[in-house]
Structure formats: structure tokens, C-alpha cells
Amino acid sequence: MSNNNNSYEPRIIAFLCNWCSYTGADLAGTSRMKYPPNVYIVRMMCSGAVDPVYVIKAMVEGADAVLIAGCHPGDCHYQEGNYKARRRMVLLKTILEQTGFDPNRVWLRWISASEGKLFADTINEMTEAIRARGASPLQQEWRV
Amino acid sequence: MTIFASLPVENKEPVNAVRDLLARLLDTELVSAVLVAVETQNGRSVQPSLIRDTASLSRANPFLPVMPISAARMATFITRRFDARGNGASAPRIAVVMRPCELRATVELAKLQQIAYEQLLTIGIDCVGTFEVSDMQTEDAHVYLEKVLEAANHGEVDSPNGLPYRHACSICTNPVAWQPDIAVHTIGVDNQQEILLEVNEESLVEKLELQAGADATAHQTAVQRLIAVRQERRDTALDTMSEKLQMRDDGTPGLLVEFEDCQRCHNCTVACPMCYCKTCLFRTNTFEHEPQYYMDVAERKGAMRLPGDTLTFHLTRLAHMSLSCIGCGLCTSACPADLPVDTLFQTVARQTQSIFDYVPGRNLDELLPIATFETDEFQDLGERVAT
């Protein structure tokens, strides 16, 4: 493990909504914007479809961070999925914080289909922030 | 409109007075059936039972200080299933005699459309505490019955005879049910002579021929005092657990350290009245991985504890039902490893419930926090303007 090492490459699991954030990520790619290859993308139909258990399993198994991204409030393809996602993530971050996990390794962001640059910036920002935090203490934890 | 009435007790047998009250409910056809705890023949416990014939009330005993199962779960079986329009109104009315935590669970399950609440005539029994059923295997529960009623009379915080209450009971701050149709008060009441009834439906007083106008001051004072002491203990117990759950210096989550001896048997899920999901993820084979998965994890991490996924299990349950956790403690009673499951859940629930200013079981009209949202809340989470 390479804790607190500037060369450490974190693994970030990203759950992106199909309609906004995944398309935003696609735009970043087709626009040839550069962002670090540390993100592993899972396409969801809606940020509201991200069951907390997906985030929990990723965190418990040692992912360095999890990103949930969806349409901006008011813009959800299914009207209100992102509002529900926000409540769930508030709930989940509270539970993680209460049980001894680092809640700052779970990020929620709103990224629209036209915000390719925001997606690239978010991944840059997140990779730097998580690199500074170091590897997840659960990465080599086999008693989970 | 709340009316207090005195229910006379004959021959120092308060349970007979309650049986008589339930018989009157059936005789006057106010209800078609009664769901109430009935003594087992061996005298060690009770089982919730659905009674339609008054003669079968002879072994009903809602005062016996044990709670092997939450009657709220039973109420899901006996009330009408909701149709597409949420319609359940034409079904027969059933009286349910419940402890305060069972009634809170009933309200939560009604919100989750598992119980047709309007079918119920709710009767809440004062409860200063219950014992583990396993402690009754060598003792007749009746030995404790009278002592616990006496403890209720004096508003005593602790168990009267050395045998401790179940842990969740010892830190329970809700000894009295919230707004049932009829509350049966024994706390701060000379319950060998009379029982104090609190009736929230005026017509019931007349139909049941009750004498309105009893004095509730002594009862209310005793309840307030009991709650104050229990609240202090509760705060201490939950603060202690919160401390233990914190991340250790090496980054290990406190939850892993405190619950490392969990075998993931799922008994807590089975016992929990709020875990109603028929398609619970943990009753599927989702976490029965392919053999290669275990080999791969063990290779990646050097080893893998089996059966695995215990942290995922507890965190998922916390995410799914901590908002509705009513603190009955049946999870702890069901745990073969004697883990403090209810303390964990109540500690986390204290935080999650407070974010949404939510008190489970308080009010049927309060929506579950994850069933609703505000458009302008928690804006610090997620909202970054493009630069």
C-alpha cells in the first residue's frame, strides 16, 4: 500500500446517470478533454436508481472513493429521482460517518449532458483530493 | 378529545379487568376480533393470538413481562391487503392490544402499506420493561408479573427483582403508547385496585359503559419521572456505542471491530418488525458468490473471512430501516452472539432520524423521509456551478 504518497493512484467508482452525467462524461471524451484514468464508470438509468448497497459494497471492498452523479435538481429525466438520490446519500453518509468510515470518500455531484468540462474537472478534483487522503483503509481488510 | 376513566380491579387481578374490557369490545360488536398476547401453557411466555370468542380470552395476558415477537408483524397478516387504490376500509375492525414499541412499529408498517391502520382499534399497554424469554425457561413468568406491575405502580426505573430487563427496555424512553384509541395505564396507578384508561374516542366511553373523570395526575408524574431517568441512561448508552463505532487509529471502522463476531445468520432481520421486505436482498443468493470470487478476494487481500459481507449486511440494513427503527430491541434478543444490535441501530438512528426531524411511530400522517423530499434542501451536497 502506498498511503499518503503523491504517486498513489486511487480507484474511484462512479455511478453516472444515463441522461446527464454519463452523457457529460461522453462529451468530455469526444471533446478530447483530459482527465485522470482513475475512474471506473458504472452507467445507471438514474441517480435515484443507485441503491445505497452499491455504494456500501464498493466502500467495504476497499474502493478509495465513490462518485454518484446525476442531472441538476429540477432536470431529472424521471422528474424527481435526483432529489431522492440526494436524501439517500445524506442518509448514507451519516451512517458511514457514525460507523467509523470516512464519509468524505463518497461524493455527490450534479453534471448535465452539456457539462463535459465539469465532468473532467470533477474527476481531476476528486482524484487529487482522494490521492491526498491515501488508500482506503479497507483495501487490504479481509475481515469485512 | 381525551377522556380518563377508572377501570375497577377485583380480587387484585388487574389482568381480569382487561380481559373483561376486551370481552365487552367483542360483545358490543365494536370489534370482530382481538389480537392480544396469550399465555403459553407452560407459563413461561406469551404468543400473540387472534381471538374471536370471548371464552378464549381466559388466557389472554398482555401484562406478562415478555415480548417474544412484535405483534406489529402479526397485524400485517390480519388486516386487509391494500389494493391498487390503497383501499382497506370495508374490512372488519380488529382490536390490537400492544406494548408501546409494537404500536410504533404498527404505525411505521402502516406507512409502508403493510397494515390497514383504519381497521385497527388500538389499545396501548403501559410497559416499564420486558424480560428475555430465555430467562423464563427456568422461572415461571407469573413470578415476575405481580412484581413488575408493582414496579409500574411506583414508576420504578429498574427491574424489581435483580433479573434485568432486556437491554432495549432498560434504555426505553417510551413506556406509554402514543395516542392509541384506548391506553391502559398501570404506571403510577394502584393497579391492584384499579386501572386508568385513557380513551381518545368519545363514543367508546359510552359504548363500553366506562366512568369518565378519573384523575391522571399521579400517573403523569410517575411517567415523567421514569422517562427522565431512562433518557439519561439512554444518552449514556448511545454515546458509549457512538464512541466505540468511531474509526480506529489504523483506519479500521469501529463497526468492524464491534461486530467482527457477527455470523450473518440474519436472525436480527427475522426478528425486526420493520424488516418486512419479502424480497430482502439478503434472502436472495446475491451474496452467495461464485467459488472463484472467494479465491480472488483472498488472493487480492491475502485472506478472506467467511462468510463475508457482514459489514455490507449491517450497513445495508442501517440504510434501509434505521429511519424507522423504533428501538424494540428484538434484534438483540435474537442474536446468537449476544451482539448489541439494537444499541448500534439506535445509536445510528438517533443521527439519521434527527437529520429529517423524524420520529418513527409518532404520527401516521408523517411521511417516511426517503419517500419524500424538499427541492431546496442539502444544497451543499452536490451543487457546484460550472466554471
What span, in angstroms and rounded, lies between the C-alpha atoms of A115 and A44? 18
What span, in angstroms and rounded, lies between the C-alpha atoms of B347 and B356? 15
Please indicate whether, in this complex, the C-beta atoms of B316 and A117 are within 8 angstroms of each other: no
Contact (CB, 8 A) for A68 and A85? yes
- pLDDT tens-digit profile of B219-249? 999 999 999 999 999 999 999 999 999 999 9
**What ipTM was estimated for this complex?**
0.95
- pLDDT tens-digit profile of B75-134? 999 987 656 565 545 689 999 999 999 999 999 999 999 999 999 999 999 999 999 999
- pLDDT tens-digit profile of B270-305? 999 999 998 899 999 999 999 999 999 999 999 999
Q: Is the pLDDT of residue A1 over 60?
A: no
Contacting B residues, span 94-113, partner chain A, CB-CB under 8 Å: none
* DSSP structure class, residue B377: S
Residue of A nearest to B261 (CA): A143
pLDDT, averaged across chain A? 95
Contact (CB, 8 A) for B309 and B289? no
The proportion of chain A whose per-residue pLDDT surpasses 70, expressed as a percent, equals 96
Q: State the distance between the two ends of chain B, measured CA to CA, in whole angstroms.
A: 59
Determine contact: A84 vs chain B, CB below 8 A.
Answer: yes
Residue of B nearest to A141 (CA): B301
Greatest alpha-carbon pair distance for chain A in Å reads 43
Helices (H), chain A: 21-30, 52-60, 81-98, 116-133
Lowest mean pLDDT among A11-25, A96-110, B13-27, B75-89: B75-89
Q: Name the minimum distance, in Å, from the CA of B281 to any CA of chain A.
A: 10
Q: Name the minimum distance, in Å, from the CA of B271 to any CA of chain A.
A: 21
Q: Which of B259, B304, B311, B343 to mutate to test the interface with A (most CBs of A within 10 A)?
A: B311
Q: Is the pLDDT of residue B314 over 90?
A: yes
Q: Find the radius of gyration of the CA atoms of chain B.
A: 23
Q: Which of B240, B244, B301 to mutate to test the interface with A (most CBs of A within 10 A)?
A: B301
**Which strand (E) or helix (H) includes residue B258?**
helix B254-258
List the Cα angle B73/B74/B80 in 5-degree steps.
100
List the Cα angle B337/B340/B344 in 5-degree steps.
135
Specify the pLDDT at position B139. 77
Please indicate whether, in this complex, the C-beta atoms of B375 and A74 are within 8 angstroms of each other: yes
Specify the pLDDT at position A84. 96
**Of A52, A99, A144, which is closest to B245 when you measure between CB atoms?**
A99
Chain B residue numbers with beta carbons less than 8 Å from the beta carbon of A110 are 382-384
| Total Cβ atoms within 10 A of residue B90 | 8
What span, in angstroms and rounded, lies between the C-alpha atoms of B327 and B173? 10
Greatest alpha-carbon pair distance for chain B in Å reads 81
Does pTM surpass 0.90? yes
Q: Which residues sit opposite A108 in a β-bridge?
A: A68
